[in-house]
Amino acid sequence: MANVALRNVHKTYPGGVEAIKGINFEVGDGQFCVLVGPSGCGKSTLLRMVAGLETITGGDIDIGGRIVNQIEPADRDIAMVFQNYALYPHMSVYNNMAYGLRNRGMPKPEIDTRVQEAARILEIGPMLDRKPRQLSGGQRQRVAMGRAIVRQPKVFLFDEPLSNLDAKLRIAMRVEIRKLQRRLNTTSIYVTHDQLEAMTLADILVVMNGGQVEQIGNPLAIYQKPATTFVASFIGAPPMNLMPLRSDEIRSQFAGDGRATSEAGIVGIRPEDFVISSEPIPGGIALDLTLEAIERVGAETFIYGTRQKEVQGVAATPGELPPGEVIVRIPGATAPAIGERIRAIAPREKLHLFTADGRRRIDL
């Protein structure tokens, strides 16, 4: 049981590439923290720095009140689950789990108790004598988790542990990891590029981009109030519609809205915040769209339309829609046909406004 704090953590590789550019956050005791971001954003590097597998070139990492910058991974009291599981191929499941305990000189009966207990929790009891290659992907995943929990560490570290599983198993394991973590109440840091995993697992969500933290907070709060256009387009699937507008356009269209200052340059609307209607909403936004594509998922339908009034002039950030395209989510499976023209409207309180560079959200 411990909290983990990162204080102004930096990582610069010998070649001069700065992978981590000063990161600060704290994970409270027993909390589940998820680091999410596109590939190459430094989230795995950061996790490996917490594990001690990468050196840090600046700042402090604090686990349970102890600065661990110079401490070997084995002595940091952490356990890690790897993306490819990293099970020892020549050892049985039992030995895979017992190996770390033996290296610490734990007495045999206690090792046995812990391994059996972990096997019971993870329902891998009948497989203890098998070798990893005789197991399915999901079972290997469980063994990797077992290897982490027998250690009873202060912190669990997960490095994209579910990305090698098929979609169905991934959802099942996701729920299981969360239940397990609640039950053991162990502080956890989890790295993923899957925003759905991030949303469902996290107590604290850390959205990273380019070696920096974009936003930290409760997942729902981040969803509802993304701090930058990057977060807005990264969290939520399909992504938020971001529309660059000239500030005079914004001021005229949003007259009376205190947010419509001269700084405002981008308007964001989540696909589910639109309504298809010809009734105008006062103070809201209305878009005339020509339908280009329709995705029927069953309970909901996503329609992709082109805005008829082109608005120019903003560099695309990752995940942003191509200029002119808007995604609208409507409930149910009914939808207009391709090529049809519709009017999508969104109320003013559902609009997000960002500065023209997308780096800051504008709130009242």
Give me the least distance between CB of 13 and another protein, in Å please.
14
Give me the least distance between CB of 127 and another protein, in Å please.
19
Cα–Cα distance for residue pair 234/197, rounded to 1 Å: 13
22 with 8: CB under 8 angstroms? yes
Residue 100 has which token pair? 């770390």
Give me the least distance between CB of 103 and another protein, in Å please.
4
Q: Which is nearer to another protein, 74 or 221 (CB)?
A: 74
What SS3 state is found at 147?
A: helix
Of 29, 70, 6, 362, the closest CA to residue 208 belongs to 6
Give me the least distance between CB of 142 and another protein, in Å please.
16
User: Residue 225, by phi and psi: left (phi above 0), alpha (psi -120 to 50) or beta?
Assistant: beta
Please give the backbone phi and psi of residue 63, each rounded to the nearest 5 degrees, phi first.
-115, 115
Q: Which is nearer to another protein, 81 or 291 (CB)?
A: 81
Q: Which is nearer to another protein, 13 or 88 (CB)?
A: 88
Element (H, E) at 216: strand 212-217
Of 78, 82, 19, the closest CA to residue 46 belongs to 19
Task: Give the burial class of 56: count Cβ atoms within 10 A of its Cβ; 0-12 exposed, 13-18 middle, 19 or more buried.
Answer: buried
Q: Which is nearer to another protein, 106 or 362 (CB)?
A: 106
62 with 5: CB under 8 angstroms? yes
Q: Which is nearer to another protein, 147 or 361 (CB)?
A: 147
Give me the least distance between CB of 97 and another protein, in Å please.
10
Q: Which is nearer to another protein, 47 or 342 (CB)?
A: 47
Cα–Cα distance for residue pair 265/246, rounded to 1 Å: 6
Give me the least distance between CB of 153 and another protein, in Å please.
9
Radius of gyration of the chain (CA): 24
Give me the least distance between CB of 107 and another protein, in Å please.
16
Give me the least distance between CB of 101 and another protein, in Å please.
9
Footprint of another protein (CB under 8 A): 48, 51-53, 72-75, 78-80, 82-90, 99-100, 103-104, 147
205 with 216: CB under 8 angstroms? yes
Cα–Cα distance for residue pair 340/13, rounded to 1 Å: 53
User: For the sheet containing 4-12, what is the strand order?
Assistant: 18-27, 4-12, 58-63, 66-67
241 with 74: CB under 8 angstroms? no
